[in-house]
Amino acid sequence: MTIIQRGFAALAAGALSTALAVPAFAEPVKFDFWFGLSGDLARVVDTLCKNFNDSQKDYEVVCTSQGNYDATLQNTIAAFRAGKQPTVVQVYDVGTATMMLSGAYKPADKLMEENGYKIDYSDYFPGIARYYATSKGEMLSFPFNSSTPLMYWNKDAFAKIGKTEAPKTWEDVAADLKALKDAGYDCPMAINISANESWQLMEQFSALHNQPVATKNNGYDGLDARLEVNKTKFVQYVTDLKKWYDAGLIKIKSKDLGQDMVQAFATGTCQLILTSVGDHGTVGRTQKEGMNWDVAELPVYAGTERKNSLVGGASLWVLSGKSDAEYKGAAAFLNFIHDPKTALFWSTNTGYIPVTKSGFEFMKSQGFYDKAPYKGREVAIESLTASEPTEITRGVRLGNFTQIRAEFGTQMQAIFANKVSVQEGLDALVKNGDAILARFQQTYPGKTLP
């Protein structure tokens, strides 16, 4: 026997003994979870994963941050094409339509059922569940980190103009901004007009006013949906924003210019912003010493019957092509995340809101919302549950929505730079957005959204 042959024999023996030893040692089944959060939030996810691994001995989840949502989806697609996909992946809200048509997932509700977990889907806040559910109401993925936008207002500044309450209508906002300006505030309100702000400026505004973003119930009923924001109340909203910007009542704040709007609010530079409840913690941590501020629901135009706001954030998808053991682990992991105690941990350490009624009740019973710094975050739940979701306030389900948001940013910038009129800009948004939608539809011939 040569040395090489002996080596092989030894290796084979070793492999055999390891294989035989597995049942005796019961090594935990490992599976991958890829997520798109970074920084502080990534550390919280890591702790969450550690808590899961410590809570039982059968499974071990390996959590890897991919940096951001876009990269997570891109990397997952690349991995899937190479057959090396993770078992669980976090996909952002606007990726939902793409995921549904991918044929690359295992429906979350089926997974839980097969593995003997009973999940009460009616426990999810309807506004959250409907965003991710199919048109028939099946949950293909599990809501994870969820948020909704709020209006942050500086109580000190509003006190100077004799106001103790946040404005409820855009008409009031206009009057208050004018008064703030007259009282010597240089930046009464801050907005940004990049792709990201499509969320609070276009999508949420449309939901609150029960206005469609696209035909076919915002895309829920078919891939042939097309945009129609150039003929809804949204036109008036953009016109007003532009008018207030021209009058110096609104300033544009973005990271590229030096200071983003959350910083501008926290430092007391600007007195009013619209941003995610997820920034509640950041404002609290970075605010100017002694500044009094609060949050309120986004304003609506006078005479509007307020509807629920939309959920933002991401959901957890289980991908196809994995082993039964890995699916068992994934089901246990999703069940762990679904637990109200996890909801408390998650919301305490991030700004995200609980996604289930039981989670919310549990947090309330623990006194979470009673005192600073968490007081005020319950407004997000009020906003999300302001009404039963209507056909068009379930959410927005359009293909390649990331590109439509980018188009939103482009056209808003053109409008605010006076290159085009409001109507021209929104017409261009619809035209270019429709081309994106048509292309998406063409890519998936004969397929329909579940």
Partner 1 sequence: MEKRVTFGRWTIGILFAVPQLILIFTFFYWPAGQAVYWSLTLQQPWGGGNIWVGLDNFRSILSNADYWNSISASLVFAGISTGLAMSIALVLAALTDRQLAGSWLYRVVLIWPYGIAAPALALAFRFILAPEAGFMAVVNQVWPGVWDPGLDGSDAMASIIVAFSWKYVGYNFIFFLAAFQAIPRSLIEAAAMDGSGVIRRFWDIQFPLITPTIFFLLVINITESFQDSFGIVDIMTSGGPANATNLMVYKIYSDGFKGLDYSGAAAQSIILMLLIIALTIVQFRFIERRVHYR
Give the residues lining the site for partner 1 (CB under 8 A). Answer: 70, 73-74, 77, 80-81, 98, 101-104, 194, 252, 254, 256-259, 400, 402-403, 406, 409-411, 413-414, 416-417, 419, 432, 435-436, 439, 442-445
Shortest CB 276 distance to partner 1, Å:
20
Measured CA distances, 138 to 132, 134, 142, 145 (Å): 9, 5, 11, 19
| Gap between the Cα atoms of 119 and 399, Å rounded | 29
Q: Is 150 helix (H, G, I), strand (E, B) or coil?
A: strand
Shortest CB 45 distance to partner 1, Å:
23
Identify which of residues 347 and 411 has a Cβ nearer to partner 1 in the complex: 411
Q: Is 153 helix (H, G, I), strand (E, B) or coil?
A: strand
For the CA atoms of 252, 255, 259, 261, what is the dihedral angle to 10 degrees?
Answer: 50
Identify which of residues 358 and 410 has a Cβ nearer to partner 1 in the complex: 410
Shortest CB 15 distance to partner 1, Å:
32
Identify which of residues 302 and 435 has a Cβ nearer to partner 1 in the complex: 435
Show the DSSP H helices in 306-421 as ranges: 324-338, 340-349, 357-365, 378-384, 401-416
Identify which of residues 102 and 349 has a Cβ nearer to partner 1 in the complex: 102
Identify which of residues 100 and 277 has a Cβ nearer to partner 1 in the complex: 100
Shortest CB 404 distance to partner 1, Å:
9
Shortest CB 12 distance to partner 1, Å:
33
Identify which of residues 96 and 411 has a Cβ nearer to partner 1 in the complex: 411
Q: Which residues contact 428 (CB under 8 A, 6 or more apart)?
A: 411, 414, 420
Shortest CB 32 distance to partner 1, Å:
17
Identify which of residues 74 and 390 has a Cβ nearer to partner 1 in the complex: 74
Identify which of residues 291 and 438 has a Cβ nearer to partner 1 in the complex: 438
Q: Is 154 helix (H, G, I), strand (E, B) or coil?
A: strand
Phi-psi region of 322 (alpha: psi -120 to 50; beta: other; left: phi over 0): beta
Q: Which residues contact 222 (CB under 8 A, 6 or more apart)?
A: 216, 448, 449
Shortest CB 170 distance to partner 1, Å:
23
DSSP state of 294: E
Query: Residues 212, 215, 220, CA angle at the centre, nearest 5°?
Result: 90
| Gap between the Cα atoms of 178 and 161, Å rounded | 10
Shortest CB 420 distance to partner 1, Å:
9
Query: Residues 239, 240, 243, CA angle at the centre, nearest 5°?
Result: 90
